Chains A and B, each alone.
Chain A
Amino acid sequence: MDKQRRKFLKIAGVTALAGIGAPALVRLSSSNALASEHGAAEEHAAEAVHGAPVEAAPQGVRLGMVIDMRKITAQPELLDKAIAACVDVHNIPQFDNKKSEIKWLWKAPFENVFPGESSYHLAKNVEETDFAVLCNHCDDPPCVRACPTQATFKVKANGIVAMDFHRCIGCRFCMAACPYGARSFNWQDPRPYIKKYNKDFPSRMRGVVEKCNFCGERLALGQEPACVEACKGTGAIVFGDLNDAQSEIRQLLDKEFTIQRNPSLGTKPSVFYIV
């Protein structure tokens, strides 16, 4: 048997064994947005937020977010705008039943977002305002630990907890592992439920998990995350490198008292709230 043929048979054999030939090869979109989360574009991502090459910060870049609930209490429509922007940018399907819902950024009352904190005699303004909830992009993410295929992983260059929708086997171990309820599963084909299709970001197939990606694909192009952009000029959502002492987000963190969701679990969340 000549080499070519042997090589072909080998590949054919492995493919047949896996039974994954076709579906794995089909790309869902012409966009390479997701791919950019892995590779070369990471540098750009960091640059975009940082304004300078990555080397500056000693512990590397760690992207984070501060949500100023005082601003959102004053203008609750900001959060709706942010959510709408997120939905549009990421082709998030809109189901009308709770069972199938897919959520990346959503709102919930304080007592649900911070179940460990006492909500007895809560300040009126806190009680009446819905909080923004999203993936915490933990520095030590339990979902990444649990995933058996590394389909969810931490991007080394910026700390984003990202997803590879093409590798996910849909075991939902990450959903059980996430202590923040940040992950959603495509219980059925989401495409018919996408209101407005954005061709720059892949839609998902059924049977995979998804969640907020801190807009890694937009960062790669030098843009801000969609929710941050939607609240531009208000300071309601501040995004940046937590490890850069000069960044806007660090100066805000140095000045204001912030809380994180369930920090006692040791996950080191990267999303902070000013209440």
Chain B
Amino acid sequence: MAAIIDLHEVAERELEARTRYPWRVKACASTACQSAGADAVVRSIEATVAAEHLELDVQVVPTGCMGLCSRGPLVRVLQRDVDTETMYADLTPEVGEQIVTSHIKAKKPIDTHVIDEKMPFFAGQEKVVLANGGVIDPNRIEGYVAHGGYLALQKALTSMRPEEVLDEVVASGIRGRGGAGYPTGSKWSLLAGAPGDVKYVVANGDEGDPGAYMDRTIMEDDPHRLLEGLALAAYATGATGAYIYVRAEYPRAIQRLDRAIRVARRSRLLGRRILDTDFDLNIELRIGAGAFVCGEETALISSIEGKRGQPNLRPPYPTEAGLWGQPTMVQNVETLANISSIINRGGEWFSSIGTPKSTGTKVFALAGDLTNTGLIEVPMGTTLRHIVEVMGGGVPDGHEFKAAQTGGPSGGCIPASHLDTPVDYESLRRLGSIMGSGGLVVMDDRTSMPELARYFMEFSMDESCGKCAPCRTGTVQLHGLLDRIATGTGSEGDVRELEHLCQVVRDTSLCGLGQAAPNPILSTLHFFRDEYTDAVSGKEPADA
């Protein structure tokens, strides 16, 4: 059996090793920066370091996401003796070379590429789950441990009973980050109270909303945080097995999680007798096969079992009979990533962030017509206006803000008149949208709302599993109606029928996909009805 890891010793050694280098260059190696050419930048920095014989002075570390993805590739340069950090954006291999020759050697920062980390995009954030993004090397467990990793698990296993862990989670008030906002503590209590010797916890990493990449970032950049959260969930609920279900479109997340699981087992942080206690847990990785509907918990369970990934009827709920017929709890990745902080700092601390009914922080993927796009983590209850106008820097190129879309194909649009809405579960639902997993797409005045609704309906139509009739056939008909309206060939009757069919699909579909698929239409009809009526005004019905 492998030796037990001494967390404090590993952390100390890791931090000490860093001080040997006067310079630490942290280069974002997350997917967004990679697609902007981060690899070439890192290679250029490393080559220049070697050419200048600075290997003993400069440590180049690949890290996770720093957030401001629209300005990638991003790099942070730490000068240890004066303890200052400089952030660089929009890098090219040439500028990477200059970072070494000008900034490090000549102490002359390249001002044209420096960005101020006090700018509103960063200043408005409160990082809990993304705390290690842009700080640690995701592939090394030592980095996670150096920043307090696995201390929560150690604390729970050695000094807390499972009920006490569960009590902290209940006290934190955290709610599911996957979209519906079910109280996490209640779900854990259901699983803990379910009879049976075999129980499972499952991390849902099947993030599928277009434009959303919160969970991907957590899994890629801080995989051990997810493992620790999952282990804590299993300990608190009495679960005997754990799975992480990741969509196949996230190969880097799969690779990093796979490595993290192996390393954690070797360090006795997973497997048998974890940290030399009586607690055993194995975590297995399961890969999706390209179906959005597998983010629905019963479909996800079927998929893990090797069956066709389509939703099953509830009741029975997964906490009664889930994976392999045993009590099972499915939790969103971001929810689980919050758990270690809750155990370390207490449920009360967590509930002091955000609003009374929506506690903690939420990660959003800002996208669309904004000056700054990327990942942000803000306290719940931050207003949309603050996110869009201050942090996102507003709509560029002299255009006007028109609407913000939250919740992807299951969500709705929020118009300018409601920009002062605080972002929390209830406020968004009252506006006909949902929190969703955290996608936030901003659209300027050039966007046509019927076209937007058609886009999302095409998505839902393609992703419908086909099990229930209203979703399978209703989404096709809704798409057809929207297509006619958006292309100017629709009639007023089409708009009436659109509204009726939305209600049919919403109220009669089997699972959340179908039930929520009409939301983009219903919310744009509510706030931007003119665009629909203008598109069809004076038109005779096609079949009249």
Verify that A and B bind, or say they do not: no
Binding site for A on B (CB under 8 A): none
